[in-house]
Amino acid sequence: MKITIAEIADLVDGTVEGNEKEYIHGPAKIEEAGSGELTFLANMKYEKYIYETQASAVLVDKSFTPKNQLDTTLIRVNNVYQAVGSLLKQFEQNITVAEGIDNTAFVSDSAKVANTASIGAMAYIAEDVEIGEHVVIHPHVYIGKNVKIDQHTVLLPGVRIMHDCEIGARCTIHSNAVIGSDGFGFAQDEQGEFSKLSQTGNVRIYDDVEIGAATTIDRATMGSTVIEKGVKIDNQVQIAHNVVIGKNTAIAAQAGIAGSTKIGPNCLLGGQVGIVGHIEIDEGTQIQAQSGVASSTKKTGRRLYGTPALDYNDYLRSYVAFSKLPSQLRKIQEMEDRIHDLEAKLKD
């Protein structure tokens, strides 16, 4: 691929400062980019690199004011990340599976597969499955009985979609994710022995959802575990039975959400966050990485931190005090001695 800087600026509605006729052949990181490459500056932590980059062009924010001399061409845009996103798609080499059904795949006679769908090698499609237009099923994918997958969804290698689950349109599910595993539900008798509670529900994933590699989402005991439209879930996230994740919420890697909890829309959950079962997290809540949320949050847009989670600033203030505790405890002891001395003097 070869494209001029002027053409790139056109694609992202940007304005050029410098040589707009130079050719670009690919993207690179700002600290590594060389001649003929395009890079970007979005996070100002990396600003120092723009003064030394060999890149032929750099995408920057409209408001960017250089502090030093620049040897590169600038393309000024409204939103650097969005511009990068749309450009990378131009550069991206498509990973495609050939249209049609690979002859090493198993597809049940009762499955309905759209003509434009692709079923990769050694995939397994069980009875009564419905697969929509332009769906791409990579090799080694398992799709259980009665699953429905809407158009333009992509399942990467080793994904397992268990029976009865429903996946919306334009979703991407990454390698080795498991959708519809049994919920973790047991009844315990007096001898401490567990007997399994059947998990007869399913998982419903709405449109435009992305699910990371090795993430697991359990089916509901009854009814549905629900992932609403536009939710983005990172790798190795665990979502238990009957959880509901609201629209456009993002969940970072290794977070876990226990059974029957409802997460509102537009929330951000940091990595390794844990949320107990049977609570509700209100719209727009932001939860700092590694926090443990133990009770419902009934105020929109809160920011939480700690285990159990407090308001973000409260936790940080308490944690600063925590780091001073050893000296403060010595001070308390010393103050007590001084009080004791004062009391003794007053007795005299």
Active site residues: 241
Residues 280-309 that bind a copy of itself (CB under 8 A): 289-290, 292, 307-308
Residues 234-263 that bind a copy of itself (CB under 8 A): 234-236, 238, 240, 242, 247-248, 250, 252-254, 256, 258
Using CA atoms, how far apart are residues 298 and 83, in angstroms rounded to an integer?
A: 36
Residue from 13, 81, 99, 301 in contact with a copy of itself (CB under 8 A): 81
Judged by CB under 8 A, does residue 43 bind a copy of itself? yes
Judged by CB under 8 A, does residue 93 bind a copy of itself? yes
SS (H, E, C) 223-270: CEEEECCCCEECCCCEECCCCEECCCCEECCCCEECCCCEECCCCEEC
Using CA atoms, how far apart are residues 42 and 39, in angstroms rounded to an integer?
A: 10
H or E stretch covering 335:
helix 325-347
Residue from 63, 65, 109, 326 in contact with a copy of itself (CB under 8 A): 326
Judged by CB under 8 A, does residue 232 bind a copy of itself? yes
Judged by CB under 8 A, does residue 19 bind a copy of itself? no
Smallest distance, a copy of itself to C-beta of residue 175, A: 4
Rg of the chain over Cα atoms, rounded to whole angstroms, equals 27
Which residues lie across from 224 on neighbouring strands? 202
Using CA atoms, how far apart are residues 222 and 144, in angstroms rounded to an integer?
A: 18
Helices and strands counted in the chain (H then E)? 5, 40
Q: Which residue has the tokens 């998990």?
A: 199
Q: Please report, as a single letter, which amino acid is at residue 296.
A: S
Judged by CB under 8 A, does residue 186 bind a copy of itself? yes
Judged by CB under 8 A, does residue 138 bind a copy of itself? yes
Residues 48-77 that bind a copy of itself (CB under 8 A): none
Judged by CB under 8 A, does residue 14 bind a copy of itself? no
Judged by CB under 8 A, does residue 172 bind a copy of itself? yes
Residue from 19, 82, 110, 300 in contact with a copy of itself (CB under 8 A): 82
Judged by CB under 8 A, does residue 36 bind a copy of itself? no
